[in-house]
Amino acid sequence: MGAAGAAALLTAGLAAPAHAAQEAAAEPTIALSAGYLSGAVGAIGDPAVTVDIAQEGMPAAFLKVDVLSSSNPAVAGPGDVHIGRTGRGERELTVRPRAQGHTDLTLRVTGRGGRTATATLSYAASARVAAAFSTRYLTGSADSSAAVDVGGGYALVADDETNVLRLYDRSRSGAPVKTWDLGPALGIKKEADIEAAARVGDTVYWTGSLGNNKDGKYKAERNTVFTTRLTGTGADTEVVLGSAYKGLREDLIAWDTAHGNRFGFAAGTAAGKIPKSIDGFNVEGLEFAPGSTTTAYLGFRAPLAPAVPGGKALVVPVTNIDQVVAGAAKPVFGEPVEMDLGGLAIRDIRKNAADQYLILAGSWAADDNSDPYALYQWDGNPAHAPVKRADLPTTDPGGWEAVVSVPDLRVPGARVQLITDSGSADLYGDGTEAKDLDHPEWKKSRSGWFALGPMRGGSR
């Protein structure tokens, strides 16, 4: 049937007497690809929902879809909803919210004979953030904690509340392209508290925090370091679990004890000790030494060295991390590195192929939205001091937690993409922390691009 014929059929059906049209026309149907959707005030490229519509005997292209009502027009009314067409006759729905909050949007499809059907979309809008143009939202989890570039504009992202790895398009807001739950293969039921990652070739090393939980209790799952093997790139990336080691925490404690309790690891892991304290124990950075595929730098969020305000950030090298995780040898620790990050600790550390490092520095404490964050450049040489390249904004919810990849730091204005852990944030003004939201479509982390300023205080 041509377009003109279909249009004539639609016109004739809608113009017929009501009783005749209803006898001739079947009920239309309307279904959403998801019943929940999140967005942000002022955002660019917010996620969309597909609206699948059908009616027997009527091409989907000639069915009418509109927004019948909004339960909270202050957040988003019918006029704030855009319904576009896809090439398959479906519709794609996006929302440009006016304010933070929740609303239920009722959608209606009208077909031949004036028959209708409705569906409801539960929508949540977070508040406007600074630099909204360069901000994207990774939905499905609010607790992003580590990220690895896998090429083709995609990144593999872990969170510290599950054992799931998620593959995201770095340039778009929305759900992950693929997911892998590694908990069963690792033999653990609770979260490993994944906090850091480092890539060598097609192997990615991941580490838990190795510390106590927030209540000061030891949880064995957090004492996990493991590898995954990557095949493919970009959207075609696949992940297979490699090997795992579950004793690095004890090894670090024994090593520190044998060296006079220099960093207080035994006290920092004692029963009742909170990990996010200045003298606690919490690993949040992992990266390889310059030119090495076997020596890994462990970056600590806590303790500072010494464990006093203004203390230095701590890095402990593991010189045989490949053998350790493979179960072939006990760890050998190199000389610790104490670096001046202005009293801040390490929240992530990442390098590029040229061995240029960026250190994401933040507080050892849990008050992520009040303490400063900064980016420091380093060359990986323990004898050289890192140099600040940027102060990061802290006015919006979520703490900066992961560096996706490191650009060429010699290029003026080089830009880097960072990701937040927004698990403790009240994204929608409803008093609920993001990690506790009922629907994965409403859980989200925020990514942002930042231009690096000139080197401060010299360079190496």
Q: 181-198 as b/e, with b when 16 or more CB fall inside 10 Å? A: ebbeebebeebbbbbbbb
Section 183-203 average pLDDT: 97
Pull the structure tokens for residue 198: 């480092």
Section 119-148 average pLDDT: 97
The string of pLDDT tens digits covering residues 144-174 is 999 999 999 999 999 999 999 999 999 999 9
Which pLDDT belongs to residue 7? 42
Percent of the chain with pLDDT over 70: 93
Section 136-145 average pLDDT: 97
Section 35-51 average pLDDT: 96
Section 72-88 average pLDDT: 93
Section 274-283 average pLDDT: 98
| Sequence-distant contacts of 241-248: CB under 8 A, at least 24 apart | 241/182, 241/185, 241/186, 242/203, 242/325, 243/325, 243/326, 243/327, 244/186, 244/325, 245/324, 245/325, 245/327, 246/220, 247/223, 248/207, 248/210, 248/223, 248/318, 248/324, 248/331
The string of pLDDT tens digits covering residues 322-343 is 999 999 999 999 999 999 999 9
Which pLDDT belongs to residue 456? 62
Q: CA–CA separation, 369 vs 48, rounded Å?
A: 29
Is residue 135 over pLDDT 70? yes
Section 293-313 average pLDDT: 98
Which pLDDT belongs to residue 269? 98
- Band of the pLDDT at 13, cuts 50, 70, 90? very low
- Entry field: residues in the chain: 460
Percent of the chain with pLDDT over 90: 90
Is residue 263 over pLDDT 90? yes
Instruction: Identify whether the C-beta of residue 374 lies closer than 8 Å to the C-beta of residue 344.
Output: yes
Is residue 457 over pLDDT 60? no
Section 305-330 average pLDDT: 98
Which pLDDT belongs to residue 423? 95
Q: Greater confidence, 18 or 201?
A: 201
Which pLDDT belongs to residue 102? 98
Which pLDDT belongs to residue 368? 62
Is residue 11 over pLDDT 80? no
Section 12-34 average pLDDT: 67
The string of pLDDT tens digits covering residues 381-415 is 999 999 999 999 999 999 999 999 999 999 999 99
User: What domains can be seen in the chain, in order of their start residue?
Assistant: 3-126 (2.60.40.1080), 177-405 (no CATH)
Q: CA–CA separation, 41 vs 8, rounded Å?
A: 41
Is residue 445 over pLDDT 60? yes
Which pLDDT belongs to residue 454? 81
pLDDT, mean over the chain: 93
Is residue 122 over pLDDT 70? yes
Is residue 5 over pLDDT 80? no
Which pLDDT belongs to residue 261? 98
Q: CA–CA separation, 371 vs 367, rounded Å?
A: 7
Which pLDDT belongs to residue 460? 42
Which pLDDT belongs to residue 25? 78
CB within 8 Å of 136: residues ≥ 6 apart: 45, 170, 171, 172, 173, 446, 447, 448
> Quick check: pTM over 0.75?
yes
Which pLDDT belongs to residue 90? 83
